Amino acid sequence: MNFSRDFVFGTATSSYQIEGAHNEGGRTPSIWDTFCATPGKVYEQHNGDNACDHYHRFEEDIQTLKKLGVDAYRFSIAWPRIFPEKGRYNPEGMAFYKNLAKRLREEGIKPAVTLYHWDLPMWAHEEGGWISRESVEWFKDYARTCFTELDSLVDSWITHNEPWCAGFLGYHQGVHAPGHTNMEEAVKAVHHMLLSHGEAVSMLKTEFSSSTPIGITLNLSPIYAKSDSANDQLAANNADGYSNRWFLDPVFKGTYPADMMNLFSKYVHSYDFIKEGDMETISVPCDFFGINYYSRAIVEFSAAQDFMSKGAFSDYEKTGMGWDIAPDEFKDLIIRLRNEYTDLPIYITENGAAYDDEVVNGKVHDVLRTRYIEQHIQAVSDLNDLGMNIQGYYLWSLLDNFEWSFGYDKRFGMIYVDFDTQERIWKDSAYRYAEIIKQREASLQIGS
Ligand code: PNW
């Protein structure tokens, strides 16, 4: 492995997944609190009420970050802590993040901050949520407040995390909050999220004349057809359109893909929610591109599945989520992005794996996760040898946490969390990650 001195090794979390303290500091509910309270939505009706209690234990967690030796820590801000009601700013909520960012800096860790990692305030949802174009204005107010209070403490801004999940899992597939199953709503919600991204990027650069790098994070998955048949090829094209191009094209080319607009028009009765100038706003130049990579997909044609192609069997080894372990396909993905979309610096803002970890004599020998991480960091190194300009890697996740509809059943952390006692236990993967980070420094001292 070969990493330059300024390559960023980090780890990532998000507010609702780790903070807990759901009714403290003036926070009001988000759509995820409501979704969790709805029977049948989340595994054993788990919720983020307490999660990792990070809100009270952030000092301990910062010490863990320090011991890991990470350069950067990616966390998100809970919007309902900042604006618990429409138009009412809550300085107490902001104080938590100010302090967190300040303490990270004091410890030499760069804060990389995500504005939206899915916890939309309930008040905003009740006024139409992302389906309403007004959401763009609410998000701008929220972003402006965060920029005003935190820009001097933050090393990079991420406007949105994975609008595919927030939009399509939340409003089309119904498996994430707010649990709607309406494709027209989903396409509108995505449009407004992307618009709010563009608006926030422009705001930071013009209103704030800030030089803090800002970008968006997309979850991307390379898609392969099960066979050469024309039908399977079409299925792969459509799956790629739904998962990847519906986001890449507007952000980098200022257009939605025409083939997908056409397919979606069976559900989307009118595209007149796309106003003049919107596509220019969405495609405003950013400073970097964030990618969350977990797996690839193989699809086959199925008439019943419409544009959502059917997942096909694969004999690849799987993680605890049942996701194929595919570091080579990760390379395909990045090379494609370089060829077809962008020269911007890339950050892998999430990569990791869930497994059923077991504590034995106070230790967690997570051999499979450790190997997953090594393989993907090796892939990043290989990609950089090919000149792909990946500037950082954030491991998902620092801690076992609330894994959305899977509740606490899926553990993604390199640090094990006992959710009864809140004890944190280093898994072998955490020791290995610390070693990888350290070795990079050691080899550089010799080489330079
Ligand atoms: C991402 N899928 O979510 C999120 O950014 C994290 O909050 C999450 O914990 C992590 O990945 C692990 O899942 C995803 O269904 C959720 O394809 C679902 C999917 C992809 C990403």
pLDDT tens per residue, range 39-54: 999 999 999 999 999 9
Query: Which residues sit opposite 390 in a β-bridge?
Result: 346
ipTM: 0.88
Look at residue 122 and give its three-state secondary structure.
helix
Distance 219 CA to ligand 1 centre (A): 8
Give the residue, by CA position, lying nearest to ligand 1 atom 18. Answer: 165
Which domains can be identified in the chain, with CATH numbers? 8-447 (3.20.20.80)
Which atom of ligand 1 is found nearest the CA of 404?
A: 9
162 is catalytic: yes
Among 292, 324, 349, 410, name the best residue to mutate to test ligand 1's pocket (greatest count of ligand atoms within 8 A of Cβ). Answer: 292
323 is in an annotated binding site: no
Residue 75 has pLDDT above 90, yes or no: yes
Strand-by-strand arrangement of the 310-311 sheet = 223-225, 297-300, 310-311
pLDDT in tens, 270-304: 999 999 999 999 999 999 999 999 999 999 999 87
Greater pLDDT, 36 or 446: 36
Distance 55 CA to ligand 1 centre (A): 22
403 is in an annotated binding site: yes
CA 256 distance to own-chain centroid: 21
Residue 33 has pLDDT above 50, yes or no: yes
Parallel, antiparallel, or unpaired for β 214-219 and 288-292? parallel
**Could you tell me where the beta strands, DSSP code E, fall in 79-209?**
110-116, 156-161
Residue 448 has pLDDT above 50, yes or no: no
pLDDT at residue 166, rounded to an integer? 98
pLDDT at residue 85, rounded to an integer? 98
Confidence at 444, pLDDT banded by 50, 70, 90: low
Confidence at 445, pLDDT banded by 50, 70, 90: low
117 is in an annotated binding site: yes
Among 32, 176, 219, 319, name the best residue to mutate to test ligand 1's pocket (greatest count of ligand atoms within 8 A of Cβ). Answer: 219
Q: Quick check: 366 and 309 in contact, CB under 8 A?
A: no
Q: How far, in Å, are 22, 36, 122, 405 from residue 175 at the CA level?
A: 22, 11, 18, 7
How far is it between the farthest Cα atoms of the chain? 63
Among 15, 114, 294, 405, name the best residue to mutate to test ligand 1's pocket (greatest count of ligand atoms within 8 A of Cβ). Answer: 294
Confidence at 5, pLDDT banded by 50, 70, 90: confident
199 is catalytic: no
Look at residue 268 and give its three-state secondary structure.
coil
Catalytic choice (19, 149, 162, 185):
162
Q: State whether the beta carbon of 292 lies less than 6 angstroms from ligand 1.
A: yes
pLDDT in tens, 194-221: 999 999 999 999 999 999 999 999 999 9
Average pLDDT value for the chain: 97
| Measured distance CA(360)–CA(148) in Å, rounded | 47
